[in-house]
């Protein structure tokens, strides 16, 4: 991982933007996990809905991964972290 050679500084607006993106990522991931939980609970009490709910559950991991990837890319860009 390529880290900056010198200390870096972030402006207050840059920090605010990173915080906004972190907040959005947490919100998105919590929403996806809530869908998983709700789907599993529905299947528990309404087994006939399992096929539809399985599809909902299966959609969530890629969405969570995408939210993490988007934030990670912006975080690394802001801090000057590059691939080796």
Task: Indicate the domain borders of the chain.
Answer: 12-79
- This prediction has a pTM of 0.84
The predicted pLDDT at position 1 comes to: 73
CA distances for 46 relative to 35, 36, 52, angstroms: 16, 15, 11
Stretch 54-82: mean pLDDT: 94
Confidence of residue 47 (pLDDT cuts 50, 70, 90): very high
pLDDT of residue 63: 97
Q: Is 80 left (phi over 0), alpha (psi -120 to 50) or beta?
A: left
Instruction: Please report the pLDDT score of residue 46 as a whole number.
Output: 93
Q: What distance in Å separates the CA atoms of residue 65 and residue 67, rounded to the nearest whole number?
A: 5
Question: 83 or 45: whose pLDDT is higher?
Answer: 45
């Amino acid at each position: 991982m390529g880290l900056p050679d010198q200390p870096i500084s972030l402006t207050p607006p840059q920090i605010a933007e990173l915080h906004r993106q972190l907040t959005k990522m947490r919100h998105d991931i919590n929403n996806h996990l809530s869908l998983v939980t709700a789907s599993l609970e529905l299947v528990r009490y309404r087994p006939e809905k399992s096929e539809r709910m399985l599809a909902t559950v299966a959609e969530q991991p890629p969405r969570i991964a995408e939210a993490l990837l988007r934030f990670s890319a912006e975080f690394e860009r802001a801090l000057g972290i590059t691939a080796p």
